[in-house]
Structures are given as structure tokens and as C-alpha cells.
Amino acid sequence: MALTVSRMGIRIKKFTVVAFLALIPMSHSFAQGILPLEQDPRQMALDVFAGVNRGSPPETIALKLSQLINAYRFRCTRLTDYQVFKARPNMIDIKAKCSGDPLYGITVASNGYVAVYGGNGIVSQLDRRDALIVSFGADGRVESDSRFTAGEALDETVERLELGDDYNLLYALSLFAVLLAIVSVITFVWYRMWKMRKGKKRKHRGIKPMAKHAVAATSLVKDQLLDESTQVAKRIYKHPSGTYIGKGKYGKRRFFTSLFWTTMYVKLGWRMFEVSAPEPINEPDLSGASEETAPD
């Protein structure tokens, strides 16, 4: 009898140990948060990814999206709209609108990756110019979508331009002004080149804008021309013959028929449309000068 009681005690102890060892994995799995397959966010993400690519009914995709939002502890009592914002081969970005809440952003991938963000205004508003928007009624069925024809798209674009988008209008006007300025500068330069070539004085013909022009005037001649000229601006003089004389940064004196190009030479050192020196009104005083005087 004592032996039987002892055997029964041993069996009870073995059963207790086996039961305890069986409960440890269950409690560990519960602590790790293992969910049933239909409630696993990764599986729901795969369902959404496959549903979008295979053209599943919008109601099914909307249900999975709301479950994903709730799984990440965001509030979504009823999903009213969603938009497949950007679709890539292995990843899809979706905008979802829940009743009474700002937009959520949901990213799903083909490997089960999922991310839910937003609900605080960081996701931009739905715009049917970005992609198709699917809307649902209170019964969960598709109420409407933003699909529109090419004619409707044209009408909407015209209406948007007529109503006036300040940013787009300002951008368009700025771009037009820049293009107009570029065309005007090019036209002005070529007009000046044409006018120079068609000028009456032979010495002003055939002038290349960027070519260095041989002035062929000594320093004494330039001094004489400067004395005969009237100063019209700082380092800019006008000779009675109509030729402008500009003094460069290092004192070099150059001749131009245009005040604009004279100013460019004085301010920036650009030697464009330079001409030969005019004839002095009076003969320069060469007393005390050497026979050969290098031009400055």
C-alpha cells in the first residue's frame, strides 16, 4: 500500500512538471504578441499589396486598410476615402481618410513591410490630379471615385487658371519675364552689330564684338582728345566727334560709339564694339616728345 502511494506521488510530480513545461512556451508566445494570421499586420500588408496589384474590390482593400490603422493603435472608426498615391514594383504608398480624423499614410511592400503614419496633419490633402480617389458611403460600399475624362481634365485646368492660382501665376509671369529679358538682350546686341556694320564711316564697319581693336593712337593723341572732350560721367568722356572715351581700371583709354559699351568697359572691363580714335580737332603738341611713342 505504501509503495502504491509512493508511485502515485511520483506520477503526480511528473504530470506537474510536464504541465509547467508546456505552459512556459504558451506564456512566452503571448508575451511576444504573436497574433492569429488574419490579424498579423505583415499579412494584412501583403493582402493590401496583392489586392492593389490584382485589382481587388475597393471594399476589401478599404477593410484591410482600416484594420492596419487600428492595429497600429490609430483611430479609424470608418474609412471614407483612400488613394493609391504612388505605386512602385515592390512598394505602394496609400493615403487613407477616416471619418473625423486627418489623413493617414500607409506604406506596404511585397516582403511584408508596413508603416502607418500621419493622423496629425503631416500628410497632404487628397488631390485627384495625383491619382484615383475612391470614396465610400456610410454602408461601406463604393459611393464614387475621381475618375474623369480628358475633356473634364482640360476644363478643370482652364477653370483653375481662370480662378487664378497665385503661386502658379507668379511663377509663369517670372518665367516669361526672364525669357523676355534674354531675348531682348540678344536682339539688342545683334542690332548693334548690324548697325555698326551698316554705319557710314568705313572705320566703324566690320567690327567684331569681342575682337581686340587696334586703336593706333599715341598717348599724346589720346591726351589731346581727352582735353577736347567733355566729361559725362566718372572716367567717361565724350568727344565733339560723338565718340566716347572710357578710362579703364588701369588708366587705359578706349574709344566707343555707344555710351552703354563705354560704361561696360569702365565698370567691368568689357572691350566690346571698340572703335578707332577720332581725328583731333587741333594738332597735338609734339614738342619734347620722342619720335616713337607707344600707345597706352
Each residue's pLDDT tens digit, 229-246: 988 988 899 988 889 999
Average pLDDT over residues 61-73: 91
- Check if the beta carbon of residue 106 is closer than 8 Å to that of residue 92: no
Greater pLDDT, 82 or 12:
82
Picking from 107, 134, 105, 108, the residue whose alpha carbon sits closest to that of residue 119 is 105
pLDDT at 199: 60
Q: Where are the alpha helices (DSSP H) in 130-276?
A: 150-163, 166-197, 219-228, 259-268
What is the share, in percent, of the chain residues with pLDDT greater than 90? 22
- CB distance 244 to 258 below 8 Å: yes
Place of cell 470608418: 78
123-150 per-position pLDDT tens digit? 988 887 788 888 888 887 887 666 655 5
Mean pLDDT for the stretch of residues 103-111? 93
CA–CA distances in Å: residue 28 to residues 22, 42, 126, 273: 11, 21, 43, 89
Report the candidate in 78, 91, 54, 219 with the shortest Cα–Cα distance to residue 143. Answer: 78
Tell me whether strands 244-247 and 253-256 are parallel, antiparallel or unpaired. Answer: antiparallel
Per-residue confidence (pLDDT) for residue 272, from 0 to 100: 82
Residue 236 forms beta bridges with which residues? 233, 246
What number of other Cβ atoms are within 10 A of residue 177's Cβ?
10
With H, G, I as helix, E, B as strand and everything else as coil, classify residue 137: coil
Residue 248: how many CB atoms within 10 A of its CB?
16
Give residue 162's pLDDT: 58
In 3-state terms, what secondary structure has residue 232?
Answer: strand
Partner residues linked to 133 by β-bridges: 83
Q: Is the pLDDT of residue 91 over 90?
A: yes
Which one, of 69, 18, 77, 26, lies nearest residue 44 by Cα?
69
The SS3 of residue 85 is strand
Consecutive H or E run containing 114 = strand 114-118
Strand arrangement of the beta sheet that strand 79-87 belongs to: 114-118, 104-109, 91-98, 79-87, 133-136, 142-145
Q: Are 257 and 275 within 8 A, CB to CB?
A: yes
Q: Which of 110-114, 133-137, 155-159, 249-253 has the lowest mean pLDDT?
A: 155-159
pLDDT at 36: 55
Split at pLDDT 50, 70, 90, the class of 27 is very low
Q: What is the pLDDT of residue 294?
A: 45
Residue 25 has pLDDT above 50, yes or no: no
- DSSP annotation of 201: S
**Tens of pLDDT along 254-295?**
999 889 889 989 988 888 888 888 888 776 555 544 444 444
- Considering 102-106, 205-209, 255-259, the range whose residues carry the highest mean pLDDT is 102-106
Q: Is the pLDDT at 28 greater than 60, yes or no?
A: no
Structural domain spans, the chain: 37-151, 207-275
* Best-predicted range by mean pLDDT (7-16, 84-93, 273-282): 84-93
Q: How far apart are CA 9 and CA 2, in angstroms?
A: 11
Determine the Cα–Cα distance for residues 91 and 109; give it in Å rounded to an integer: 4
Least confident of 56-60, 157-161, 181-185: 157-161
